[in-house]
Amino acid sequence: MAVDLTVLSNGAEGIFIKNSRFKTTLVTFNFYLPLNREKVAAFALLPFVLTTCSKKYPDFRRLNTKLSKLYGAELSASAEKLGDYQLLKMSISVIGDKYTLDNEQLTAEAISLLSELIFEPNTQNGEFSENDLKREKRKAIEHIKSEFAEKRLYSKKRLIEEMYKDSPYGIAKCGDIEDVEKITGKSLYNAWEEMLKTAHIRVNVVSDSLPAGLFDSLNARLSSLNRADVTDIMKTEGTKPAAKTNRVTENEQLKQGKLCMGFTFEKSGGGLDTADMLVCSDIFGGGPYSKLFTNVREKMSLCYYCAARSVRIKGLLTVESGIEKQNAEKAEKAILLELENLKSGQISDAEFNSSILALTDSLKVYYDSVNALEGWYASRISDNQLFSPEEFAESIKRVKKEDVVNAAKGIKLHTVFRLLPKEEQ
């Protein structure tokens, strides 16, 4: 599978990911902006407002009619957090031209439509439509409320907030309800202008062939924007160890308690040289072969689930578990004991080989979906080199047990967050 990167005008680039397995073409505009507490909610709302209407298609009925004419082309949007940056994604997926009935040039039309939505929104007098704004604000608030209601997500969110109180990474990717409620048509318009002028832009194309003139037309668009102070996407900082473990406990009316533990590790970043840390965290708490699953969950029955996940770009390792209140202390001690066993080199051949196989197999899945493949390259924004899932799988195969042990020795407990049931009255 070939991947070609084209440098466009200031702070923009295009990536063509050639893949002949799919009958569709996926084009995604990725906008990277620094996480900013005052602006995060407005930026997060933008992709959803922009992909529902434009000047030419001022309501979703007319836009949906246009999509139907493009053989049911699909629009999608999201707002994500990637290291110390906010990632705004807007995509269109359309059937490849060679699969149309009369060799229609649908791809060019679809890309033109997506460009219109992004660069020519449904605004008037420097403001977004109040109806569009109300609709998307309501959805955003419902989404934030749903995350609070799902206690596993809430506990992980609180852990990150506590670990990164004075850091961009501690900011929720969509802001909070109060932030959303404050957004006006004018403030959203200002956010849109700032996004176009200052975001680092990466346009990813997953297709059998690169649509003719795509990157040239994008360059022409960007050249007219007077872009300045473009986001430097190489500034994500690793996580510093804590001088003393931070402990936070909250109590709510719930049946199952949550124990979330945050650790730092020495090597941060997402490059090929972090494969050892990925294997380390997987053996610790990845699959059903991991130490946390087989020992803490199965043998000791101290939790309903217990899993570890590494965020290598931040030098962060988290452990999440569902517990009974009376097992909170025991579970924490058992998790820390398994980490010490890992540091001392107690890794069986079964654990090691299962992890290597599971991780390399999981990387093959990226080639089964255009969205997954696009997402891989969107997330590689701060790496010094562009590499494929297959190349990363090869680096995992080169990891040795001693590499895993050395990686484990750099892991240090930073914060413990517990969400426990209230005492019955």
What total of structural domains would you count in the chain? 2
> Is 280 in the same domain as 382?
yes
> Is 96 in the same domain as 215?
yes
- Residue 38 exposed, middle or buried by CB count within 10 Å (0-12, 13-18, 19+): exposed
Question: 245: closest CA among 267, 265, 262?
Answer: 262
Average pLDDT of every residue of the chain = 93
Residue 267 lies in a domain: yes
DSSP 373-400: HHHHHHTTTT-SS---HHHHHHHHHT--
The mean pLDDT of 80-99, rounded to a whole number, is 94
Question: 192: closest CA among 132, 140, 120, 141?
Answer: 120
> Residue 424 above 60 pLDDT?
no
Q: What is the pLDDT of residues 79-89, one digit of tens each?
A: 999 999 999 99
Which of these three, 223, 256, 274, is where a domain ends? 223
The mean pLDDT of 32-39, rounded to a whole number, is 96
Residue 2: which pLDDT band, with cuts at 50, 70 and 90? confident
Q: What is the pLDDT of residue 9?
A: 82
> Residue 235 above 90 pLDDT?
no
Question: 87: closest CA among 375, 370, 314?
Answer: 375
> Is 160 in the same domain as 128?
yes
Beta-bridge partners for 87: 32, 80
Residue 89 lies in a domain: yes
Residue 234 lies in a domain: no
Residue 189 domain boundaries: 3-223
Q: What is the pLDDT of residue 211?
A: 83
Q: What is the pLDDT of residues 237-294, one digit of tens each?
A: 889 999 999 999 999 989 899 999 999 998 777 788 899 999 999 999 999 999 999 9
> Is 127 in the same domain as 58?
yes
Residue 292 lies in a domain: yes
Which of these three, 223, 238, 259, is where a domain ends? 223
> Is 405 in the same domain as 312?
yes
Residue 425: which pLDDT band, with cuts at 50, 70 and 90? very low
Q: What is the pLDDT of residue 37?
A: 94
> Is 206 in the same domain as 101?
yes
> Is 75 in the same domain as 182?
yes
The mean pLDDT of 302-325, rounded to a whole number, is 95
> Is 182 in the same domain as 93?
yes
Check: pTM over 0.75? Answer yes or no: yes
- Sign of the dihedral through C-alpha 202, 208, 270, 159: positive
Could you tell me the CATH number of the domain that includes residue 350? Answer: 3.30.830.10
> Residue 22 above 70 pLDDT?
yes
Residue 228 lies in a domain: no
The mean pLDDT of 59-80, rounded to a whole number, is 95
Q: What is the pLDDT of residues 127-179, one digit of tens each?
A: 999 999 999 999 999 999 998 899 999 999 999 999 999 899 999 999 999 99
Residue 233 lies in a domain: no
- 352 in helix, strand or coil? helix
Residue 238 lies in a domain: no
> Is 201 in the same domain as 257?
no
> Is 141 in the same domain as 51?
yes
Q: Is the CB of residue 288 less than 8 Å from the CB of residue 225?
A: no
> Is 288 in the same domain as 334?
yes
E strand or H helix at 340, and its extent?
helix 328-343
> Residue 114 above 70 pLDDT?
yes
Residue 401 lies in a domain: yes
> Is 216 in the same domain as 291?
no
Q: Do strands 12-18 and 200-207 pair parallel, antiparallel, or not at all (unpaired)?
A: parallel
Q: What is the pLDDT of residue 423?
A: 75
> Residue 217 above 90 pLDDT?
no
Q: What is the pLDDT of residues 274-285, one digit of tens each?
A: 999 999 999 999
